[in-house]
A and B are shown apart, each in its own frame.
Chain A
């Protein structure tokens, strides 16, 4: 427990000090989106990595958060903070109600149902033209502000987003190490066994689904205020898959893994620009290689790689993770 706390403090310090050497360059801007994507991946990881329930509709909750905040602030003159809370609660209630029928499904059927939710939400963003501006998007969304402090620069937005992100990470760390977290893992291993042990599996699955939707909605609100423009294309099926990839590449069932996955998938395309037109091929190859040779994700793969390069005292068996 103690080492967990130290780990978090070190991580938080790194996050808070990181922008200093970047001095407001464009990487600060990219790191804002790492924070947003990281929490989205974290939300999905709680659901998929811990409770073992897949969702291909995360972009829907993210989008509902973004559009909720965007529409309430631009069309109805809500205060952005009020809008954020109202929207997040509405999305949570919606997810809770949706969770009961949907999470009765398992495996491929669950994937199909959540995928459906994602597609329906995207169609709704596209077709409600009067409210959302339709496919050409919604612009003129205000920045967030506290008193006279307006979050209008990359650096300010970085700290805004990462404060939220650190809060969510802390919450998740506490959650997965609690009785609730252990029960989730029990459901993952065997739902029947968990129920026999007295775990209310059905309710817990819905609860964690709701939590992940809530986290996604908050990030959606932040996204819309950081970007000040949103369009439905950002909340499509492709984005749901991207979040899923972040979770799998980062490491299923690891809080920091989600952040690591988001960091890699958001930064990698930037680094691969050197390959010009071939960047997509290299990107694909890297992802395939990583999934083959690091089935536990980056959180396990990177230490294993270290041991492989610098042979440990114990022997060579550790290197095949």
Chain B
């Protein structure tokens, strides 16, 4: 019996050795996502998507004949942990590039680590501070809040609405949005006549809305992620507010319509094009990528791919292109990433340059409206 076991082990070891010798070692890519914790609504689709893309690439023969290996860690949305894990990816796993993290806080925390280790990072979070000022090794795929704000203001200007009330959540997403809403208002000739905030866990925003109602704005802009904006939509309906309500791209998923129910009707928001992929004209450059992403995600996870997953899709595909063109060294990948032009992904059409590591224009956003529990394009 003993002999049999040892023979089995020996042959197994031999087998492992021989296969390892045959195939070139896989290219290691690190991923940091907030799969658990308060930002899990971002981290989970991102992790799923990244894994899906890697599986698909490997199934199709890898990149230049070499397989990719994705090493994913969960930051839990905790900056301290994100730093430890970034160190682990760089020092122990020796990855050639990192995608993620999911939140701006985690990203800002790991930037010193990747800058020092000289490993390219493609963040999936939106904060403008990530790529402004430009950092040599840091790129991002999520659209800047600046662009979303510009998209809303542009529409308001077109409709000649100038007095707005803003209602933002007091977390990093909301405070970044608030900053941008205030900063860009003058440029579009818009006047903010009421500026209120609410807590991420608040369950009733009637007081803020009552105050806004008495200020009589032309439109209300609310900046937050689920479930706050759904509560605001319901409260607004209960109060019988007849003022147009704009939300941020933070709620651009079916989940918001589910949560807000009938109250979602007529609400407008800037969104990545993934929500309305099938409504886009054929001439749209992104249409091919969008439909491929949605189909793959449906096949793998039996769920609808959202634009958060899209950030990870873009990051992986940008990385794939960079490895194809720049080789498998961190420096080669970084240089190839910076030279990426006109890559039509999920979040938009990316063109990086030495001065721009965010790579998108305001065309990345399209304005959608909720009608009959579905999205339609606002013309």
Contact = CB atoms under 8 A, between A and B. Distances in A.
A29 B108 contact: no
B175 A135 contact: yes
Interface string A134-173: 1111010000000000001010000000000000000000
A126 interface: yes
A129 interface: yes
A116 to B, nearest CB: 16
A87 to B, nearest CB: 19
A269 to B, nearest CB: 8
B105 A137 contact: yes
B195 to A, nearest CB: 13
B223 to A, nearest CB: 12
A256 interface: no
Contacts of A137: 79, 104-105, 108-109, 172
B83 interface: yes
Contacts, number: 78
Interface string B70-84: 000100011111011
A229 B77 contact: no
B79 A136 contact: no
Interface string A104-143: 0000000000000000000000110100001111010000
Nearest to A25: B91
Given A135-B172, A227-B109, A280 B36 contact: yes
Nearest to B174: A135
Contacts of A264: none
Nearest to A29: B87
Nearest to A223: B80
Given A26-B91, A280-B36, A135 B79 contact: no
A214 B341 CA distance: 53
A233 B87 contact: no
Nearest to A33: B80
Given A25-B92, A26-B87, A135-B172, A234 B80 contact: yes
Contacts of A231: 79, 105, 108-109, 172
A298 B123 CA distance: 40
Contacts of B226: none
Interface string A261-294: 0000000011001000000100000000000000
Given A136-B127, A137-B105, A227 B172 contact: no
Contacts of A303: none
Contacts of B78: 233-234
A26 B79 contact: no
A233 B101 CA distance: 15
B84 A30 contact: yes
A244 B52 CA distance: 40
Interface string A207-249: 0000000000000000000011111011000000000000000
Instruction: From A24, A137, A270, name the one whose CB has the most chain B CB atoms within 10 angstroms.
Output: A137
Interface residues of A, number: 27
B92 A26 contact: yes
A243 B90 CA distance: 28
B79 A127 contact: no
Contact of A228 (B92, B105, B112): B112
A136 B172 CA distance: 4
B263 to A, nearest CB: 27
A284 to B, nearest CB: 13
Contacts of B80: 33, 227, 234
Contacts of B73: 273
A135 B168 CA distance: 13
A136 B129 contact: yes
Contact of B171 (A24, A135, A152, A230): A135
A234 B172 CA distance: 13
Contacts of A139: 108, 111, 129
A136 B91 contact: no
B248 interface: no
B112 A154 contact: no
Contacts of B79: 137, 227, 229-231, 233-234
Contacts of A228: 112
Contacts of A234: 78-80
B355 interface: no
Contact of B84 (A33, A134, A233): A33
Contact of B170 (A26, A127, A233): A127
8 contacts: A29-B84, A33-B84, A136-B129, A137-B105, A229-B79, A229-B109, A229-B112, A273-B73
Interface of B: 36, 73, 77-81, 83-84, 87-88, 90-92, 104-105, 108-109, 111-112, 116, 127, 129, 170-176
Q: What 6 A-B pairs come out closest when comparing CB atoms?
A: A136-B172, A135-B172, A26-B87, A26-B88, A231-B105, A29-B87
Interface of A: 24-26, 29-30, 33, 126-127, 129, 134-137, 139, 152, 154, 227-231, 233-234, 269-270, 273, 280
Given A127-B170, A135-B174, 9 more contacts: A26-B84, A26-B88, A29-B84, A135-B175, A137-B105, A231-B109, A233-B105, A234-B79, A270-B88
